Structures are given as structure tokens and as C-alpha cells.
Amino acid sequence: MAIKKGGKHVKTTWKPKLKKGQSSGSNPSTRKFRDAAKNNVFTFNSGEAGLTATALAKHNEELNDRDDHSAFDCETQSVGAKSCSTILTSWTDCSNQSFNKVHRLWKSNSAMHKEILAVLAAVTEVIKEKGGKETETEYLAALMTALDTVEGEESLTAVLYLISLVIKRAPPSVLKARFSEFAKCFMDILAKYASSASTSLIRSAIVCLATVLRMQDQGAWSDSSTTQLYRAVLSFTVHSKPKVRKAAQQAVNAILKGSTFMTHDGAPAHHPAAAITAKYCVEQIEGGGGSDEAVTSLHTIGLLKDILPIFPSRSIKSVCETILKVMTLSNMLIKATCMKALYALFLSRPKPDSLTQDLNAQLIAALYDYQPGENDVQPMLAWLAVMREAHANLHALNAGLLTAHMQKFCKTCMACFLTEKAEVAQAACDSLKAIIVDCLKPSKDAVISDFGISQTAGGSSLVHKLFHSVEVGLGYQYHAFWGHVLQILTLLFEILGRECHVIMNKCLLSMACLRDSLGFKFNKELDYAVGAAVRSMGPRLVLEAVPLQITGNEETFDFPRSWLLPVMRANVQDTELGFFVTYFLPLAARLRNRANELRRDGKHVLAKTYDILQNQIWALLPGFCIRPTDLCQSFPGLAKILGQVISERVDIRSEVLAALRLLISKNLDNAKNRAEIAVYAKNYLPIFFNVLTTEPEGHAGKHASCLAVLETVKVYLQITPAELVESLFDKAFDRIGDAAQTAYKRYALMDLLMCMAPYIDLHRINLLYDSVSALVKDGDRTVQKKSFRIVEELCSCRSDACHLFVVDNLTSLQSLLTDTLSSGAPSCKAPRLRCLSHIVQRLPSAQPDFLQAIIPEVIVCTRETADRTRAASFKLLADIGNCIMKDTQKTEQEQMTEFLMMLCAGLAGTPYMVGATIVALTTVLFQFRDKVQREVLETLLENMCLLLSSKSREVVASVLGFIKVVISVTKDTTLAQYLEQLITSISNMTEDTRRHFRFKVKIIFTKLIKKFGADLIMGMTPEVYHKMLANIRKTLERAKKKRMAEEADDSDEEEGTKEVVKKVETIEDLLRDTDSELEEEDDGRPSSNRAPMPKKRRKAQATAAYLQEGGEDDILDFLDPGVAKKVLATKPKADKPAVDHGFKIASDGRLVITQDKEEEEKALVGGKKSFMVDVDKIMETMDISGKKGKKRTRASVDDDDGDDGDVFPAKYKAGGSGIHRQIAEAKQDSMKSDYGGDYRAKKAGGDMKRRGKPDPFAYVPLTAKSLNKRKKASFQGQFKGIVKSAKKGARKGRKGKRK
């Protein structure tokens, strides 16, 4: 481990790992440097704000100088402006802002910096002695004079660096007047020190010369001396030193793009030096070539990435020809760099006079000759990116010219789906989708017009060719990437489906067949594609292409196309409502009749299936009601049917009601459709009222669709005529006073009155209010709640009648709400609080008596269990605060102080009241944090710190919540003053509350550590909390590392499949791994576990190229135009040799077993010799001894010759089946089975992973023998042995770890 201290790296020795919980014991006892660092933490800026004119000028200077690089390397951070002015500025006595960079940056161990400060101090002294005003012109003149008299390379570098700073701010007239003098001086320095080791000197000279050239007029560039100076700058763009090369390339870029005459009105199309630059680049590339050491070519092409788009058309053509010429070579690094340059050219969208449409088209055609192989991942990704941008730029130049090229590019992308590389297929899919969205969609009208003409004439348009090229991807050879093909078809359906549906029917049928096939893996993508067709083409055209195959008279009940119903439900919109009437309604009726028939026959399962199908069909109706195209023609025939369904069909009532709500809400802006729907209000509203007031049989509660009916009533009343609403209101109001009404009907009538309240006149509103005022004190809690809901509706409604009612009855409403405080039911609290909130908002000014009367109830409700009640109380507290601030006689801070003191009165009550008061204070502090004075906050914190020592858990819980909010909303500088007080109070909590709220305390400490650091908080807390704080610190560090890793991963992830992937901004992302991609080693180790490759080998591999050859008869033709596909940047994998099974294999996979003639002859000749041997073996095996006893003996048998007395034992071996089967040996082999032996290491004592096998855990095979009950004990013992061995190994590992 290396720690940076004082600019040096100090290696620390390794120390043994501490035991758990003892990590904090290693902290040093002395804290000298930590305390010194903390002294500056809690400093407050009591002066003026830091945003001054000087600060803005400094900021502008930083923006102007961001592209410039200092002449010396500085790794330290910049200090504050005050420190600079007191240290470095005072030392140099320079006040010119051009040298602020010198003053802000300080590196004590840099001799160059010291020399720069010395020169600046000397020049400043000379200017002040002569009475100068320290202008840029004075400094430039003094430094140029010093440039002639300075001695030594170090001093020359310092002077040049100061000139490079001030010359950019010098008046252009001065630079134009002294152009020849300045240019000669800088040119002489460059010529003299071109081969110098001082990088800073050359860089500063280049910056100075480039600045002078930028300030010249256009006429000066006609002089040969000016172009000669520019050529000198160009020569450094291929310098061997990176910093010099980068400075020169930036200088060239600045001259061509940022010259003064190029930024003014009437600027020429191209810089006069652009052609010179192009010619120079061509010469350098042709001279460097594409050999392995073509460093010059690489540097030149790198320069072209930035300046190629601003070249004239002729120069771009010559440069692109040169780039394409070097791309034919085998240097893969050159190819990658050329791809980057072309990508930058197309991505910049150059002007038409720079990159003409013809040249763009020619480049697209030429790039097909340089297409890499589909299996060469990184080059193919780069090629696709270049082609995508080339087509997009051609579309911007001439959309008509893109037609021919788009078809070819589409076929090329589809060919990429035949590769085995998923990255290439994904890139091809993204490129094709980008072309469709960026090129085809904007020119949709022209494409559709051409399609119509070709359809009439019988020709083939772009749409025909493009769609057929993509449709081929549904073939089986593309099965691995069908998901990508379906994404492309989705875009085509969305863009062209409505007008070009004629050519899409076959494709839809093919997709449906794939969906019905067994094992299809892309159901989600296919459903989304069909959904896109439904959205664009409409369900009628889709069902013509893909029949639903559901008639109600099926003989089989598999319903293969039933998946279409959910897809259409999610995507039907903006279509013909009449199609639902003519097609789906009769079908739903037939399905219902068939379900009833099956139910009568006792086939309940099949009947349920048909019920589900007809419910799915009715579920399509809401989609058909979203902006229908034929509402006026189709709705009259559907209205009566829907009314009958609402009255009679409870099972599908919700779908019909949802359809009506969508039909109304989506046509509010369409006057014709709105009037057509409003005609049927007199029919639908009575039906709704009857459904609501009809008590369901079997139970007293409401049925499931009542809320849907009530919501539909609210929507339909928006378009109902006022006369009809008033008539219905009068009938409902008369019936609510009837004592004979049941409770259920009474509740329903009150709901209907609440819905109609916003649409009645003032007279009826007063009648309703008088009736409700008596009902709020009713003994029925439901009636009370609904009465308050009606009052809330009257107070919140924005109609003119309701507004006048609230203004006229404001005092009466206040009295009503305050008088019912004690008699209100708990369920009425939320609507009462919402009513009070509306009343408080309508108050013209703060009324202390009324507010003080309702505040106690609001405070108590902050601790209610119901979420809506708590939310209403929090909102009412905010409204009270805003009402109090309406008083203009006091400041907002004073008014907020009075409000907080009013709330603090609750701190003297019971523990429950104290906790609720603290919650109310927390809410107000959060809502009005910007209006709370520091003294009030200090008082509140002192009281909260005292309450933390309370024994009541509910009080402590509220206080901890208050502290957490204070930490979140208070600035660090303000919170730092009370930090020690807060931590001390938390530490002094009782043992019971500290243990009970340990997680809340941990959250508070986590927030404090995030704000002030772990060391500071740990120093203020007692030792009992140190373990917790150490854990918090480690947790935060782990979370930070994990977050950084996730952000890094997210940057490489691709977007979802439904959206077009965002285009890559830079091609470096595509070619990131080209220079370091490694082939797989023979040992199978992953690249992360391999030893790092030597530098020379990496360099060689970066430029290496490989040829992809076929079989022995397939000869590679280098004159073939498609030979570029055979040149790969990665080494192709060799085919694995076929396994020799000992037999020949025919072309169809059959085994061919033959016997040669020679083997047959040998068998015949040697047959006689081997005959006797075979007989002897048979006799020995059968043990023929002439004894006929029942029991076989092991007596020896004499040999036929009888010459010796050798004894031959019986050699019978069991084999076959039945009684001859192997028993003992098989049993012995099964007992000796060595599970896990394949994983055992040869030289070590443990197991090791094997390639292509699972990890070496204790895998126990599941065999049929384990089901044998007689062998149950033995198998249990096997498991016990495994567990015992695992525990033994774990104990051994723990002992070794302790050692």
C-alpha cells in the first residue's frame, strides 16, 4: 500500500488483520494534523457574496483558456482567490488578469514556476517604473523585448509561456501591425529549438504563432509568407512528443475554425489554408503508408478527425480517397483510425458545399468494398456505425438519393443476423432501426406516395424492397436473432402500417404461425410487433391477415389464436367502433350461448372457457372507445346494447363503464362527438341511478361495480345538459328526506347528490347545505362521513355558484366545522380536515381565534393511524402557515415565529400530545424552512435536546424524526453550530430508548457522517457508539464503490428492446477493445486471469491482421472485391478436429462398418493354428473334470500332454444375464464409487475447478437405488459422512486462519 504524503510515495508495512470489533483500537492517540484540518471546517463567511465582477471575469477567462495547456505540469489544486492575492500576487505585484493562471497555481518544487514568477515580477516592475497601466499591450511589448535579451533555455521558456498567456488578450490591431516582427521571432525560436528536449518551450511558441495567425485578415493568407508560417505549425502535428503534437493539432484546429474573419458575418465558406492542410495530410499519409510503423499516418488521420468536415469538397474527396487507399493494407490499427475519421466526418453533418450528395453517395458505395467479416466483431461494429451516419447525412442532403442505398444497407444488416456473434447482430439491428427512424420516418409522405404509384403501376417501390428484405429474417436460418428481426418489423408496422398494409398480410400470417409453433422463444417481442400492427393498421386489417379462429362452433377446444385477444386489448385505439359492433358483438353472443349449452350438458370446464373468451372480447371495448373514427355513425347502434348490459350483466359491467368513461373523456374537445354522446345522457343517467340505488340481494354491502358506476356518473355529468341535472337532483333530494328509505339507498342518494353538487345552481346548493348541516350530527357514522364529503365538495368546487356560496356562508361553515369537533366520528376526521383546509385557503386574512380553535385538532391528527387523515393534517398545517403570512404588517420571519410558538403550546400536554406537537413542528419546519429564524431554530433544538432524555418512547421517536429533518433541510454551516449539542443529547438518551431506537439513531449518525465526516463525529461521541460509527463508515464506503461500479456498468449497457438504442456519440466506444483484444488461450483461462501481455506483443497484435481461409479446395482470391471480409482483426478460431470413433461416418451420419480383404485372408490362414488354443480355453472355462457331483469342486485337471503337473484354477467369469450376471463385483464397484474424484487436485490437498464442469461442491447423484427402503440407512450414512467431512474441513480452515 502506498500513501501519498508531501508529494512523495511512502510504502507502509503490512500489519496483521485485527479481530472483529477492534478496528477502532488502532487509531493513534495523537491527532495533531486532524485537529488542524478541522479548525477550518466551521468557518462562516460573514462578508459579501462571492459573486463579483472580478469573479465573473475570472470565470470568463477560464472558459477562454480551457483549451490551452500550461507550460509546466502542476498536480496541486488551486487555492482561493484571497490566498492568491496575498501570496503570489503580492510577490509579483501584477494586477493584470491575463496572468491569473500563474497566480492561482502554485507548485513549490517546480523550478520553472519560480522562474515564471521571477520574470513576471521583473517585467511588472519595469512597467510600473515607466508609469505604465499594466495593459496587455504593455506586457506584450515588454515580454517581446525580454525575449530578445533573455539568456538560457529555462528563462526563454518562462518568457514564452507568459507571452502565450497575454497574447490571446492583446488587441488584434497590435498583432496585425506587428505580424511580421512577431512571426519572425516565434519562427526563429521554433527553428532553433525544434529538436530541443524542452516540451514547454515548443508548445508555448506554437501557441503564440497560432494566435498571431488567427488574428490576421483574409487577405494576409494570400501572401506566401503567411502560408509558410502555417506550414511550420503543420509540421509539428506529427511530432514524436505527444504534448507538442497535441498543441500543434489544437493550433491548426483553432486557425481553421476560429480565425477572426471566419467568425464574423460574411465569412468565407472555407478557410484559405484548408486546401493546404488537406494537401499536407495526403502527403503525410501517402508517405507513411500503412506499414507496421506507420506512426505518421496515424497522427495525420487523428488530426483529420477534427478538421476534415471543414475542408472544401475537392479536398475532402482527395483525403477520403487517400484514406480508403490505406485501408486496403493489412494494418488493422490504420483501418480503425480511418474508420474514426470517416465517422467524425459524417457525424458532424458538414455543409453541402463541403460534402456534396454525390460524394456522400460515392463514399457509401466505396465502403462496401471495405466491409469486414460478419464474425470480426469490433471492425464490423465500427463499419456499421460509419455506414449508419453516412446514410443519415445523405438523407439530410438528398432524401431521394438515399432510396437505392437504403435497400442495400438493409440487406447487409440482415446478413449480419446469420453470424454467430451477438454483438454484431445487435449493432446491425440498432443501425437498421436508426436508419428507419431517422431517414424513412421523416420522408414518410414521399415514400407512401411512391408506394401508391408503384401499386397502381405494378412496380416495386422502396417500401416493397425494404419490407421484403426484412421479412426474409423470419426464415429458420435467422432463428437465433428473431428477436432483432421482430424489433425492426415493429418499427415498419408503426410507420407504414396504416397506408402500406397490403404487403404486410403475409408477414403477419408468418408471425402468427411462428407464435403457434412449439418452443418459440420470442413471444414477448412478437406480441409487441403484432400490437404495433394493431395500433397502426387497426384490428380489422390484422384479423383479415390473421384470422382469430374462434367461431363458437369449434369441435376442438385448443383455440390456437386466443393470444390475439390480450394483444389487441392492450393496443386497440383510434379505430372503427363499427367493427366491434359488426364482428365482436355477434361473436360474444355466440360464445355466451355456447357456454350456456355446455353448462346445461354438465361440461362446466368448457363452459368456463367460453365465458373467459367472451369476457376477453368485451374487454376490447374500452380500446375501441379511445378516439373512434366513426363515433357518430356507430354509437347509435351500440348505445342501447350498452344500456342493457349495464343493467343486466354484472360480470362485464366494469368493462362497459370504463368504455363509456373513455368515450367521453377522449372526446371533450370534439364538439360533434361530444354532442352525440350527450344525447343519450337522459337514457344512461337513470340507468346509473337505478343500479346505485338497487340493493344487491344476498348481502347488505355494495357490489363490486358501484364505485365504477359512481365514477361514470361524475364523467357523464360533464356533458349533461343543466336542465337534466337539476331535474335529477330534485328527484334525489326529495327521496333523501323520506324516512322509509333504507340505509343503503340513503347512502347511494347522498353519493349522487355529492356528484351533482358542482353542476347545480346557488338555490339548490343552499338547500343541500341546509339539509347536510343537520346530517353531520346524525347518529349514523356513514351518514356523518358522507355529509362532510358533500361539504368538502361544495368548498372545493370551482364553479361560480359554489364560489358564491362559500363566500356568503364562510362564517357558517366555520361554525359548523368547529361545533362538530367533539361529536364527529373518527372516520370523519379526514373529510373534516380537508374542509377546514379549503376554508383556511378562502380566508381573506388570518383569524387568530379560528386558527387557535382548530390547531389542537390538527396537531392530534398528525399521529392518527389512517394515512389520509395524517396527509390532510399536514396539508392543513401548511395552509394555516400560508394564511398567517397574509398579514402584511409583519415580516414573514416574525409571522412564522408566532405560528411556531402557537404550536409549541402543545409541548406541555400528555406524552401523546407532546409527540404529536413535535410532529407538527417538524412538518412546519420542513414546509417553511427558508422562513425560520436562526434564534427560533436554536430554541427548538434546545427543547428537543431536553426531550431526548424523556422516558416516553413516543416522545423520543418524534424528537428523532425532528432531528433527522433538521439535518436534511439545514445548511451545513448552520447545523455545525449545534452539532456537538445534538450528539451529546443523543448520547444521553435512556438505556431503554437508546436500545429501542438504535436503528433511527444509526440513520441520524449516517446523515451526520455524510455531511461532516466520520472522524469528526467519532471524536464527539462516547466510546459506546464507536463500533456503530465504524460500521457506518465501512457501509458508506462499500455503497460508494458499488455505486461507482454500477454507474460504470450502466454506461456500457444497451437500451431496452422496445426503443431504438441511442446513437453512440464517439466511435472510440466501438473500437475500445480493438487494440487489446486477446484470443482465447489453449488452457481455457479467462482473460482476467492471464498474465499481462508484454508491450511489444500488444503492439504487434494491435496492428496484426488474420486471413480467414476456407477448406483445402477454397483458395483465397485477393483480387475479389469482397476480400476485405476475409481480413480479420481477431484471430479466427480453428475448427476442432473430429473425434475418431473407430468407424467411418457417412454423409448422412450413419456408421459404416467394413472388413478389409487382407483381414479376411489372415483369418482364414490362421484359423487352423488358433483352433486348438480356442478349444483349450473353452475347456478350461467350463471346467470339464469328468465328475458329476452336484457340487462343483476346485480339483485340478491334468494337461492334455501330461508332461508336467501344473495345476490350472477355474477361470469362469460371470457375464450375461440371469444367473450369470455379475453380482459381487458390481456391488463392490458401486460401493467403491469415488464421487468428486474428478475434482481432486494432483499435487494439493483440496479440490479445484474443472473446465466445462460444475463447481466442486458436494454433489450427490440421485439414482434409482436411493429409493430402496432397505438401503435407506446406508444412504443416510452417506450424507452424514459428507456433512461430517465438511465440518472437519471448516474447523481445519479456521485454525489455519488464526495462525
524-564 confidence digits (pLDDT tens): 999 999 999 999 999 999 999 999 989 888 888 888 899 99
User: What per-residue confidence (pLDDT) applies to 1201?
Assistant: 42
CB 252 within 8 A of CB 273: no
Summary mean pLDDT of the chain: 79
The 10s digit of each residue's pLDDT in 495-521 is: 998 888 889 999 999 999 999 888 899
CB 779 within 8 A of CB 745: no
Cα–Cα distance for residue pair 276/270, rounded to 1 Å: 12
CB 213 within 8 A of CB 271: no
The 10s digit of each residue's pLDDT in 63-73 is: 444 444 333 33
Q: What is the mean pLDDT of residues 967-987?
A: 89
Per-position b or e across 459-496, b if 16+ CB within 10 A of its CB: eebbbbbbbebbbebbeeebeebbbbbbbbbbbbbbbb
Any idea which of 509-518, 753-762, 1205-1214 has the lowest mean pLDDT? 1205-1214
- Please check the confidence at residue 57 and state whether its pLDDT lies above 80: no
Q: What is the mean pLDDT of residues 37-55?
A: 42
- Of 676, 464, 655, the C-alpha closest to 565 is 655
CB 278 within 8 A of CB 286: no
Q: Grid coordinates standing for 922?
A: 417538524
Q: Grid coordinates standing for 639?
A: 348505445
The percentage of the chain sitting over the pLDDT mark of 70, rounded to a whole number, equals 74
Query: Which of 381-385, 739-743, 893-897, 1263-1267 is most confident?
Result: 381-385
Predicted TM-score (pTM) of the model is 0.69
Cα–Cα distance for residue pair 103/101, rounded to 1 Å: 5
CB 382 within 8 A of CB 337: no
Query: Which of 146-155, 285-294, 497-506, 1249-1258 is most confident?
Result: 497-506
- Please check the confidence at residue 1173 and state whether its pLDDT lies above 50: no
Report the largest interatomic distance among the alpha carbons of the chain, rounded to a whole angstrom.
142
Q: What is the mean pLDDT of residues 917-944?
A: 90
The percentage of the chain sitting over the pLDDT mark of 90, rounded to a whole number, equals 36
Q: Grid coordinates standing for 579?
A: 367493427
The 10s digit of each residue's pLDDT in 598-624 is: 999 999 999 999 999 999 999 999 999
CB 613 within 8 A of CB 562: yes
- In the three-class reduction of DSSP (H, G, I as helix; E, B as strand; rest coil), residue 1127 is classed as strand
The 10s digit of each residue's pLDDT in 326-369 is: 887 767 888 888 999 999 999 999 999 899 999 999 999 999 99
Q: What angle do CA 400, 316, 396 make, to 5 degrees?
A: 25
Q: What is the mean pLDDT of residues 1036-1051?
A: 82
pLDDT band at 405; cut points 50, 70, 90:
confident
HEC per residue, 1165-1185: HCHHHHHHHHHHHHHHHHCCC
User: What per-residue confidence (pLDDT) applies to 1189?
Assistant: 42
The set of residues, in sequence order, having a beta carbon less than 8 Å from that of 1011 and lying 6+ positions away, is 967, 972, 975
Cα–Cα distance for residue pair 1089/983, rounded to 1 Å: 49
Helix axes of 671-678 and 653-665: crossing angle, nearest 10 degrees:
140
Place of cell 354438465: 602
Q: How many DSSP H helices and E strands does the chain contain?
A: 62, 6
User: What per-residue confidence (pLDDT) applies to 1285?
Assistant: 75
User: What per-residue confidence (pLDDT) applies to 919?
Assistant: 92
Q: Grid coordinates standing for 499?
A: 397506408
Any idea which of 497-511, 794-808, 1059-1073 has the lowest mean pLDDT? 1059-1073
**Dihedral over alpha carbons 300, 303, 307, 312 (to 10 degrees):** 0
pLDDT band at 1290; cut points 50, 70, 90:
confident
> What amino acid is encoded at 664 in this protein?
I
The 10s digit of each residue's pLDDT in 74-122 is: 322 233 333 334 356 656 667 777 776 776 666 656 788 788 888 888 8
Q: Work out whether strand 1151-1152 and strand 1144-1145 pair parallel, antiparallel, or are unpaired.
A: antiparallel
Per-position b or e across 1010-1036, b if 16+ CB within 10 A of its CB: ebbbbebbbebbeeebbebbbebbeee
Q: What are phi and psi of 5, to 5 degrees?
A: -145, 120
Q: Grid coordinates standing for 838?
A: 379549503
The strand pairing partners of 1151, in sequence order, are 1145
Considering Cα of 901, then 902, then 908, then 911, what sign does the dihedral take?
A: negative
pLDDT band at 1195; cut points 50, 70, 90:
very low
The 10s digit of each residue's pLDDT in 13-33 is: 444 444 444 444 445 555 544
User: What per-residue confidence (pLDDT) applies to 25?
Assistant: 46
User: What per-residue confidence (pLDDT) applies to 1053?
Assistant: 47
Cα–Cα distance for residue pair 642/1283, rounded to 1 Å: 69
The set of residues, in sequence order, having a beta carbon less than 8 Å from that of 174 and lying 6+ positions away, is 137, 140
Q: Grid coordinates standing for 515?
A: 407464435
Any idea which of 322-331, 666-675, 1156-1165 has the lowest mean pLDDT? 1156-1165
- Of 219, 205, 338, 221, the C-alpha closest to 277 is 221
